[in-house]
Amino acid sequence: MARKKSLKTAPLLSPANYIRTRARKLPVVECWINSDWEESQIADLVIARQHSNGNFTVGLYLVDLFCLGVKDTFYYFNIGELEYREVLERYTDLETEKKMVGYELAHNIIFAGLEFADEFGFKPCRDFTSTTQYFLDEDTDAVPLMEIVCGMDGLPTLLPDLWHNKKALARAIHQLEEKAGFGNFLLFRKDGRVMHALDDDDDDDEFSGFTLAEKVGLFKELVMSQESLAGDELDRFNELVNSLSTDLMEQEDYDKHYNELSELALAIDVDAEYVPDELLNGTAGQYSEETKRDFLRQVKLIDDEMETGKPSDGFRTAGGAAANGLLGFLALKGQTENVDLLERIDKLAAEYPNYPLVKLVKERYELLRKELDSRSCVLLEASHFFGNRKVVHTLEYLYYLNYLSAVIMAEGDLAKICAWRDLFDELPVSEVDTSYIMNAIISFQPIVVAECLRS
């Protein structure tokens, strides 16, 4: 009797991977834009492509034609017509009137914004680079070229009143000073003023009028009661620490570290929907989606139990010995009595030397073996842990950020710590996911400030 051939089913593409590889083959059916885009120089675009089953994949793009290019982007994948109409209804219900346009105009607006921004060193947002650029047709002669006006009077223009992060605004202005030259860019204020530089009072905070000695005196007073500070008092202390950090570090060092850390942390794409087998130390196609999702649930359970009390060592998954070994280690992190975590992670690393999550945990714990003054703080690139993979799951990326943070804090360089803290606004993960890392950085920064004052 002939043996039946086993048919292997190709793994389903994640939504992001589908967009990267196949979306351009879908026909464009609708494009929408805010009616005042030429006057406001801000284009809010919706582009819809339709699948053969009648569903829609939709790309949304926020384009700043003044200077910054593609500031934000999002997509809906393979949604039904009802949901698509609801998306459009929410979009068209916004304050500014919307109108339907041809794809050629939408394409030219996006790529004109990209090209203008690139002249001055501004890159598109992360999700555009990793995913939604592939939703657009390639920018070739096949798409008719249209003239799109960028900037104000031909000059790159920033809108300072829309920036919540003053340090990021200062970096953008500094970048324009270097790329365009002072006087060759504009600042457009919400009251209609057009300026070449910020007013002196734009950088004011509570401590801007303090002398360095006054800041140091207040810092020494408050740092003694830091652990008891909360609410507005804690916010005020953190603002003082940031102001004092600015005085103590060199801006040139900060900029250098910011650029270097940006390249390091943003060198890999993150996809929360696609769960790779490598997450469980497997190879492509080894584990079912159910097994991989179960592993993520087990990690979440351990994190939840560690917040409320001692977790048990009873977490198991069908994902194999390596994944179960890691779960056991994570669970034991909450039980410090009579548990040698360093020995446990050494054993895991010896058994599974190529497991990315174990490698990341081991590197962090290696810092605990060394005295502060003898630590060799080397920031390893993502490829050291993930090989030639270009996309990782959110959990893997958070482990990588946690590792980078541990090394940066161990090094104790104030400018680098401040740059790393500010970079978190640009990372492709939510503030909720990174809150525990950010809290550790904020808590550690005063220690480094105190060290700088003693030296």
Neighbours of 341 (CB within 10 A): 15
Which amino acid is residue 251, in one-letter code? Answer: Q
d(CA 208, CA 170): 16
Q: Are 362 and 346 in contact (CB under 8 A)?
A: yes
State how far the Cα of 246 lies from the Cα of 243, in Å rounded to an integer: 5
When computed from its CA atoms, the radius of gyration of the chain, rounded to whole angstroms, is 25
Q: Same structural domain for residues 273 and 378?
A: yes
Question: What was the pLDDT predicted at 372?
Answer: 44
Which residues are CB-contacts of 309 (< 8 A; sequence separation ≥ 6)? 334
Nearest to 68 by CA among 190, 171, 137, 146: 171
Q: Is 202 exposed, middle or buried (0-12, 13-18, 19+ CB in 10 A)?
A: middle
- For CA atoms 431, 91, 109, 156, give the dihedral sign: negative
Sheet (strand 157-158) strand order:
157-158, 186-188, 194-195
Domain of residue 50 covers 15-135
Report the pLDDT value the prediction gives residue 8, as an integer from 0 to 100.
Answer: 42
Residues 126-165 have pLDDT tens digits of: 889 889 999 999 999 999 999 999 999 999 999 988 887 7
- The answer to whether residue 183 is domain-embedded is yes
User: Does 356 map to a domain?
Assistant: yes
* Inter-CA distances, 320 with 280, 299, 356, 395, 438, Å: 7, 15, 15, 18, 32
Structural domain includes residue 229: no
Longest dimension (CA), the chain: 91
For residue 225, the one-letter residue type is S
161 shares a domain with 52: no
Total domain count for the chain?
3
Q: Cα–Cα distance between 75 and 87 in angstroms, integer?
A: 11
In this structure, are 32 and 114 located in the same domain?
yes
Instruction: Indicate whether 375 and 308 sit together in one domain.
Output: yes
Are 97 and 47 contained in the same domain? yes
Are residues 419 and 290 both part of a single domain?
A: yes
Q: Tell me, yes or no, whether 448 and 332 share the same domain.
A: yes
Q: How high is the pLDDT of residue 376?
A: 59
Q: What is the mean pLDDT of the chain?
A: 86
Q: Identify whether 233 is part of a domain.
A: no
Stretches where the chain sits below pLDDT 50 are 1-10, 311, 336-338, 372-374
